[in-house]
Amino acid sequence: MGKGPGFHRRDLLTTGIALAALPFGLQLSSPVAAATDNVRSKTVDRVEAYLNTIKTLSARFLQVDNAGNVVHGQLYMRRPGRLRFEYDAPSPLLLVADGTWLILHDKELGQVNRFPLYETPMGVLVDDPVNLRDKVEVIEAEEDLGIVRIKLVDREVPDEGWLGITFTEPPMMLRQWRIKDAQGGITALSLTDIRINRKLDPKLFVFLDPEPFSEN
């Protein structure tokens, strides 16, 4: 963190892409899956019901990537399909979902990358309704001492990582998610100062391409 604002550029960009674009999946043998079907199903029902009560969410976030780099920022979410990750300086990244695209903007370089929202891990959390049994599968679910954890995989890409989500209760509250990519890297994002179902400015979820740089 003490090596200047440009030091983490590659790591930060990789982390942003992990949140934005990497498909996720994990192979699991059927005997293990079958052994926990009943418990997992009940937990999935409760998590789905909770997530579907969330129409808007705002929170501070702390993000840690696989190299241990730490960044902070502000998250805004509005279902269906809207997200905004405002990274604190010196990070140059902004991540916006407009209902169709998840847009990664490097403000320092003026670079913009777009990914189909519902082909990314984040699409699961902002779908309406949230469905944890259709395009994804919950392969792990546990409840213990006020902590609920689930782990999801993408049914179509079973070899490229997973999405893990952690909740606290009572009452149930989304607290963290972790994304493991196909290379084994894990990005963790933890939430604080969480505010649920408050009015959010629609402009937060509108992205305008930066004007081309001109030397004139």
Structural domains of the chain sorted by starting position, each given as residue range(s) with its CATH number in brackets = 9-196 (2.50.20.10)
**pLDDT for res 52:** 97
**pLDDT for res 1:** 31
Under DSSP, is residue 121 helix (H, G, I), strand (E, B) or coil? helix
Residue 212 has pLDDT above 70, yes or no: no
**pLDDT for res 16:** 56
Between 114-123, 128-137, 204-213, the lowest mean confidence (pLDDT) is in 204-213
**pLDDT for res 15:** 53
- How far is the C-alpha of 195 from the C-alpha of 134, rounded, in Å? 28
Under a CB-based contact definition with an 8 Å cutoff, are residues 134 and 124 in contact? no
Residue 22 has pLDDT above 60, yes or no: no
